[in-house]
Structure 1
């Protein structure tokens, strides 16, 4: 697919972006960013960029605001979406690279955003491919009801991540150099191991181990579970929420996101011996 990525510029561009927001999060989504904000944010250092196909259709976008934190310019990347038809082609990754280049040109070195810790594909993109680091777990960050079916039954818990876009570690990730997980990662205790219930992976009883490293499991596809069993989806949220909040309070940090390919299981590795 032939794709071009550029800043959004015209009223038509911004209208297409609002339409894609509704297509992604649903017609009743209460948090759509209106055209005026998409436009004026770019006048003060923000980024609103889109991916367009050969016919000029907007098939993906990234939007964020630039501000000051601790006396330094930073960027908050608020939204990233790719249309269903264009998913699986690396467009989200390409949009983040375009965003990064624009921000480096303006002197921004740190980008923040949030994502749902239960979404495995986003964890892989953010932590493994881009090299962002988890800063904090926040319960119900955006409230408990946005009007979107994507958030139905599981609320809006989020990881806040920081992407140090000019660090050597990030440059290495973008060059395809990925640090290997610990060689013994499969022996690290899992606090919420899963089992199959009615054909779906579901977390077993939470065991809050006292160990220097632990694993927190998430399902391969939380959206599929939401569509099939809201009860099971809610169990995943409750299990992971308790685990992340417990270990966060004790100073643990997320250091890796890994997949057991043989069993198709996904884990965060948390470590209490990490310098911040």
Structure 2
């Protein structure tokens, strides 16, 4: 169910896809003449069997998401961006579309330093961080990511269940120190916690060098943890990831 006063639909027409491209330009602070996802690309993805979902608030475009088919009953969400409170409706629409095609999972990536996105993906949706990608896109020239390395965390969302979101506070011994002098990582038994900056986007704009030190510090924790069989399962409100070790890695 969409929030009151909103309408959610799939977009197929050129005008609607152009509006979605403009929306993505505004979110990523690029000129509308150079959108991160041009309308013609979106049109090709739809023609190839993908889906563009858009949510409208009082007839105004307020969010959009793009998904494509993947192998072995999987789907991939290329991009999603919506105004506050509308993200869950968009993801449910993507889930419903994918399930009608017989898909069992959906994957996408996000910047692991952006805590609000981590909470949405891991806590609200119950997705699991399954892969850490170093500088995935290479240098990015948009107004949000410019000047940073584009590390991304892949999450996998089980479309057949309700998910198992975790939101556990950190405990255990401090393993590493963060660039601000506070604890970066803690570990207790089969659980590990990693802290990220309170607002990575603002930090990147104010002090790019410090933001990059955070990037490298968090990267090191995640790479070591994933090599041991840990997966990201939660994010606390004060910026701590929970990473749990899978049974297969016992």
- The alpha-carbon distance between structure 1 residues 17 and 269, as it changes in their structure 2 partners (threshold 3 A), is same
Q: Is residue 37 of structure 1 aligned with residue 41 of structure 2?
A: yes
157-166 vs 226-235, which moves further: 226-235
27-36 vs 150-159, which moves further: 27-36
- Give the match for residue 199 of structure 1: none
1:266 CA drift (Å): 1.3
Q: For 2:50 and 2:129, locate their aligned partners in 1 and report how far apart those are by CA, in whole Å.
A: 22
**Residue pair 2:166, 2:235 contacting (<8 A) in 1 also:** no
- The alpha-carbon distance between structure 1 residues 274 and 113, as it changes in their structure 2 partners (threshold 3 A), is same
Alignment equivalent of 2:17, drawn from 11, 14, 19: 14
- The alpha-carbon distance between structure 1 residues 165 and 207, as it changes in their structure 2 partners (threshold 3 A), is closer
Q: Is residue 92 of structure 1 aligned with residue 51 of structure 2?
A: no
- Give the match for residue 243 of structure 1: 221
**Residue pair 1:193, 1:217 contacting (<8 A) in 2 also:** no
- The alpha-carbon distance between structure 1 residues 192 and 57, as it changes in their structure 2 partners (threshold 3 A), is farther
Q: Is residue 79 of structure 1 aligned with residue 79 of structure 2?
A: yes
**Residue pair 1:75, 1:108 contacting (<8 A) in 2 also:** yes
TM-score, structure 2 normalization? 0.87
**Residue pair 2:45, 2:51 contacting (<8 A) in 1 also:** yes
Which aligned segments of 4 or more residues in structure 1 are displaced greater than 6 angstroms? 205-210
- The alpha-carbon distance between structure 1 residues 149 and 188, as it changes in their structure 2 partners (threshold 3 A), is farther
Q: Name the count of aligned residue pairs.
A: 245
Alignment equivalent of 2:7, drawn from 4, 7, 29: 4
1:57 CA drift (Å): 2.4
Q: For 1:207 and 1:110, locate their aligned partners in 2 and report how far apart those are by CA, in whole Å.
A: 30
Q: For 2:235 and 2:186, locate their aligned partners in 1 and report how far apart those are by CA, in whole Å.
A: 19
- Give the match for residue 161 of structure 1: 155
**Residue pair 1:191, 1:209 contacting (<8 A) in 2 also:** yes
- The alpha-carbon distance between structure 1 residues 34 and 153, as it changes in their structure 2 partners (threshold 3 A), is closer
Q: For 1:46 and 1:8, locate their aligned partners in 2 and report how far apart those are by CA, in whole Å.
A: 11
Q: Which runs of 5+ in 2 are unaligned?
A: none
TM-score, structure 1 normalization? 0.79
**Residue pair 1:191, 1:208 contacting (<8 A) in 2 also:** yes
**How big is each residue's C-alpha offset from its partner over 1:170-206, in whole Å with a ceiling of 9 and x where there is no partner?**
3xx6xxxx5563xxx43233444558xxxxxx35586
Q: Is residue 60 of structure 1 aligned with residue 63 of structure 2?
A: yes
- Superposition pairs for residues 121-160 of structure 1, below 5 Å? 121-143=116-138, 145-160=139-154
**Residue pair 1:138, 1:160 contacting (<8 A) in 2 also:** yes
Q: For 1:108 and 1:95, locate their aligned partners in 2 and report how far apart those are by CA, in whole Å.
A: 17
- Superposition pairs for residues 198-217 of structure 1, below 5 Å? 202=180, 204=182, 212-217=190-195
Q: Secondary structure at the match of 1:247?
A: helix
Q: Secondary structure at the match of 2:88?
A: helix
Q: Which runs of 5+ in 1 are unaligned?
A: 196-201, 260-264
